[in-house]
Amino acid sequence: MSSKKQASSQLRVGDNPLVKWLLVGLTLFLTAILLVVPLIAIFQQAFVEGAAHYFNSLLEADTLHAIGLTLLVAALTVPVNLVFGVMLAWSVTRFEFPGRKLLMTLMDIPFAVSPVVAGLLYLLLYGNNGWIGAWLYEQDIQLMFAWPGIVMVTVFVTCPFVARELIPLMQQQGREDEEAAVILGASGWQLFRRVTLPNIKWALIYGVILTNARAVGEFGAVSVVSGNIRGETNTLPLHVQLQYEDYQAAAAFASASLLAFIALLTLLFKAFIEWRQERQEATL
Amino acid sequence: MATHLSAAPIRPRHKRVLPGLSLSLGTSLLFISLILLLPMTGLIMQSVDMGWARYWEVISDERVVASYKVTLWAALIASVFNGFFGLLLAWVLVRYDFWGRRILDALVDLPFALPTAVAGITLATLYAQNGWYGDILSSLGLKIAYTPWGIVLAMAFTSIPFVVRTVQPVLEELSPEEEEAGMTLGASDWSVFRRVIFPALWPALMTGIALSFTRSLGEFGAVIFIAGNMPYVSEITSLMIFVSLQEFDFPAASAIASVVLMASLILLFAINIWQARYLRRLHGRN
């Protein structure tokens, strides 16, 4: 976000140094209490019993399995939602059709719905009593309380993120570049790869990273459909809960520190993109 | 995050030259139908199956009603708090230059990036009686962890970014003329803020608060660790669904979930309609 330097020497609201430092100070104080200290506490608690304990608890078989399952879920979820996000963003920003607004509202459902409800929806449909689940059961296919169910609810919960990052940007950029390319004879794929993709590259990457962060960290929905079988259907966030409720706080925070690290990388990347954008705007 | 603040500029209708309408729209519709809408059929069938009397009995159960109240109150307090804190953060980030502004800006998104379970155990540890904050608070005679205030805290934490990210862009685009006119005419900072700036900000502020409220209603991971989950006192509605599921009472879980789902869908549609209206007004005026 760019802070606009004022060209004029006119006074604006809150320019008084006393007001400024009071507000900045209050903000920093509250942010420190609400955000910074909790972030530090995660790592402090993870190392509270020493570094050896930290690494040993991460190398436990169940923890390693949880890490592997979590990576698998993310690796399957992200590509699906990447394709969906691009398709949806292309259709709603490049064309006008009846129901366009409704489509954008429907896309937001996962933001509004409680993750527990999301998990339940899938359990009712694909569980053994559901109308699809009963048929799957006859075919001997088990989706719920197994990794496919975890992937399915994770896709549900994280599907809006890529589209959410792309839509405002693509609306702002307009369609002129792409229309020119078509008139010059570009094919659909050439158009996307040479014109659209370079324009939306960074937003797309950020959308993917955000999707990944949420896919790795989903708790409520996954906990409904996973069945919490230790060493089998436990993702990393579920494993954190298990260890925490088992009074292995240091081990729980060790697992949590991996998730917090991914979150930090996500924030760092976003800061990098914004810094890049500001520089670009400054050189124009 | 969930905002449509950058609306499309109004453009004249012209002939469609771009390819891919049927492919992209087809894929999107298929995806939305399969992933988002189809799963709702299971819930509807389950709720219809159980009959009205039983349905009503479940959703009006005393313990469940207590959970609605706790959830609504906690979400309301958390989102109003975020209204103030978010406005303050947005103002400071847009208006002032100071060391660490960029770090602060990045940190605002932490609650979105951090898994809710991690937030939950961290807050519970900090505010527990022997934790860093719990220690200080208990010497003051206050208790947050394992009380309804713990729920408020967890909800507030997970929804901090909403107000900041809806107000920030509006504040950035605010033109300085009216404000400077007010200041030149000798009005005080506070009265210019109240009469010129706040009227321009409040639709975005309300949107942010509403989004924060919606998110808080559904929050689960962060809340359950710190709430204490005492029946009638600190159980949230999502937990009631979860408890019914653990008892393999699918009809009860579905009935409660249908109430939550309807509430969130109504909120979602209301927010989107409201946003579309105020965006039109905003762009009509400019």
Q: Are residues A94 and A33 in the same domain?
A: no
* DSSP secondary structure code for residue B17 in this structure: -
**Looking at the domain assignment, is residue B89 inside a domain?**
yes
Same domain as A197, residue A119: yes
Residues A99, A198, single domain; the answer is: yes
Residue B259 in any domain: the answer is: yes
Q: Is residue B55 part of a domain?
A: no
State the nearest Cα–Cα gap between A156 and chain B, in angstroms: 6
Q: Are residues A169 and A202 located together in one domain of the fold?
A: yes
For A106, which residue in chain B has the nearest alpha carbon? Answer: B32
Is the dihedral angle over the CA atoms A232, A235, A241, A243 positive or is it negative?
Answer: positive
ipTM: 0.91
Domain that residue A28 falls in: 11-46
Same-domain check for residues A216 and A268? yes
Asked if residue B272 belongs to a domain, the reply is yes
Tell me which residue in B25, B94, B180 faces A91 most closely, judged by beta carbons: B25
Q: How far is Cα of residue A260 from the mean position of the Cα atoms in its chain? A: 13
Give B-chain residues touching A117 at CB under 8 angstroms: 218, 238, 241, 257, 260-261, 264
Write out chain A in H/E/C secondary structure: CCCCCCCCCCCCCCCCHHHHHHHHHHHHHHHHHHHHHHHHHHHHHHCCCCHHHHHHHHCCHHHHHHHHHHHHHHHHHHHHHHHHHHHHHHHHHHCCCCCHHHHHHHHCHHHHCCHHHHHHHHHHHHCCCCHHHHHHHHCCCCCCCCHHHHHHHHHHHHCHHHHHHHHHHHHHHCCHHHHHHHHCCCCHHHHHHHHHHHHHHHHHHHHHHHHHHHHHHCCHHHHHHHCCCCCCCCCHHHHHHHHHHCCCHHHHHHHHHHHHHHHHHHHHHHHHHHHHHHHHHHHC
- Chain A residues closer than 8 Å to B211 by CB: 111
A29 and A58, same domain (yes or no): no
Count of structural domains within chain B: 1
Are residues A18 and A103 both part of a single domain? no
Do A172 and A86 belong together in one domain? yes
Q: Could you tell me how far CA B74 lies from the centroid of its own chain?
A: 12
CA nearest A110 in B: which residue?
A: B36
| Shared domain check, A96 and A17 | no
At residue B232's C-alpha, the angle toward residues B226 and B236, to 5°, is 45
Chain B residues touching residue A178 (CB < 8 angstroms)? 18
- DSSP string computed for B130-177: TSHHHHHHHHTT---TTSHHHHHHHHHHHTHHHHHHHHHHHHHH--HH
For residue B237, give the nearest of B119, B120, B63, B76 by alpha carbon. B63
Whether A34 and A54 map to the same domain: the answer is no
What is the maximum alpha-carbon separation in chain B? 71
Contacts of B8 in chain A (CB under 8 A): 93, 171
Cβ of A130 within 8 Å of Cβ of B107? The answer is no
Domain with B156, as residue range(s), is 71-285
* Domain CATH code at residue B207: 1.10.3720.10
Q: Which residues in chain A have Cβ-Cβ distances shorter than 8 Å to B160? A: 34-35
DSSP label of B98: -
A96 to B215: CB separation less than 8 angstroms, yes or no: no
Residue A79 within any structural domain of the chain: yes
Buried b (16+ CB within 10 A) or exposed e, B29-62: bebbeebbeebbebbeebbeebeeeebeebbeee
Give a yes or no: residue B85 inside a domain: yes
Asked if A151 and A275 sit in the same domain, the reply is yes
Reading chain B (286 residues) residue by residue, the pLDDT tens digits are 444 444 455 555 556 778 888 999 999 999 999 999 999 998 999 888 889 999 999 999 999 999 999 999 999 999 999 999 999 999 999 999 999 899 999 999 999 999 999 999 999 999 999 999 999 999 999 999 999 999 999 999 999 999 999 999 999 988 888 888 888 888 888 888 988 899 989 999 999 999 999 999 999 999 999 998 999 999 999 999 999 998 989 999 999 999 999 999 999 999 999 888 877 776 654 3
For residues B146-165, b (16+ Cβ closer than 10 Å) or e, as one string?
A: bbbbbbbbbbbbbbbbbbbb
Domains of chain A: total: 2
In Å, how far is A269's CA from the nearest CA of chain B? 9
What pLDDT digit, counting tens, does each position of A235-258 carry?
Answer: 999 999 999 999 999 999 999 999
- Tell whether A2 is covered by a domain: no
A6 within a domain of the structure (yes/no): no
Task: Report the predicted TM-score, pTM, of the whole model to 2 decimal places.
Answer: 0.91
The answer to whether residues A111 and A179 belong to one domain is: yes
Residue B212 in domain = yes
**CATH code assigned at A106:** 1.10.3720.10
